């Protein structure tokens, strides 16, 4: 579609093309076509746009309302091309709660699932609400920022007493994380434990790995 806006002398300058660029993380919940359509929805008259009505900040705000967009920048270059640089939100985990499923972003808000794209993130079950969400997001960030933990942790259960249990890709043992505090120490203890246990043939016999006590890791056999 070709757009136009009028300059101060009432001559017509064409918006020749709409160029969408994704910046930041690797998530692709949105396609260029989807952003294109979001932009075109903001044109009240697609054939002519008055220069004084060319409110790029308003377009940015309308893009930023989208649940998958973290921030955007919209501008027109001297050749008449409309540019939209879009940073998509990053998913930390996928929550399954009361029959609903959605992602939690690094900003701590919810994101809908995408029909065309999915992210390999931990699956979360249990009660997630306004009271515990910020603390929980802090735990998720610590896991995501550590390459080893990001690869290892596949699931998190939030218990009624606000303690956490984790599941790992490396073993079947249940990981008792405890309350959402002393996060760094607990994750470090788990990493050290896994370093020494990776060649231990009895690892498969453990049913529980307890990280609640920050001075030691306690394991229970089957």
- Which tokens in the block code for residue 76? 């027109």
**Architecture, CATH, for domain 17-88:** Roll (3.10)
| Domain 91-221, CATH among 3.40.50.10960, 3.90.25.10, 3.40.50.1820, 3.30.450.40 | 3.40.50.10960
**Higher local confidence (pLDDT), 43 or 207:** 207
Mean per-residue pLDDT over the chain, rounded: 83
Report the chain's terminal Cα–Cα distance, integer Å: 65
pLDDT at 45: 46
Q: What is the DSSP string of 63-80?
A: HHTSTTEEEEEEEE-TTS
75-89 pLDDT tens trace: 888 777 788 899 999
pTM of the predicted protein model? 0.81
Each domain of the chain, given as residue ranges in start order, spans 17-88, 91-221
CA angle, 44 as apex, 43 and 45 as ends, to 5°? 90
pLDDT at 200: 67
Place 136 in a pLDDT band, splitting at 50, 70 and 90. Answer: very high
Element (H, E) at 219: strand 218-221
Place 15 in a pLDDT band, splitting at 50, 70 and 90. Answer: low
CA-to-CA separations, 170 to 21, 83, 194, 217, 220, in angstroms, rounded: 38, 45, 9, 17, 17
Say how far apart CA 155 and CA 14 lie, in whole Å.
52
């Amino acid at each position: 579609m070709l757009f136009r806006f009028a300059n101060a002398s009432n001559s017509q300058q064409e918006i020749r093309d709409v160029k969408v660029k994704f910046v930041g993380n690797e998530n692709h919940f949105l396609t260029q076509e989807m952003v294109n359509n979001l932009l075109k929805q903001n044109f009240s008259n697609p054939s002519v746009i008055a220069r004084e009505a060319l409110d790029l900040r308003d377009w940015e705000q309308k893009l930023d309302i989208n649940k998958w967009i973290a921030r955007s920048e919209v501008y027109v270059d001297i050749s008449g091309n409309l540019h939209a640089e879009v940073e998509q939100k990053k998913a930390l985990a996928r929550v399954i709660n009361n029959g609903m499923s959605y992602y939690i972003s690094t900003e701590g808000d919810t994101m809908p699932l995408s029909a065309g794209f999915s992210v390999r993130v931990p699956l979360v079950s249990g009660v997630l609400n306004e009271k515990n969400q910020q603390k929980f997001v802090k735990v998720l960030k610590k896991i995501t920022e550590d390459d080893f933990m990001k690869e290892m942790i596949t699931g998190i259960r939030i218990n009624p007493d606000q303690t956490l249990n984790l599941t790992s890709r490396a073993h079947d043992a249940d990981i008792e994380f405890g309350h959402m505090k002393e996060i760094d120490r607990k994750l470090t203890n788990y990493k050290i434990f896994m370093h020494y246990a990776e060649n231990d043939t009895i690892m498969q016999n453990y049913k529980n790995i307890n990280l609640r006590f920050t001075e030691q890791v306690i394991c229970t056999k089957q």
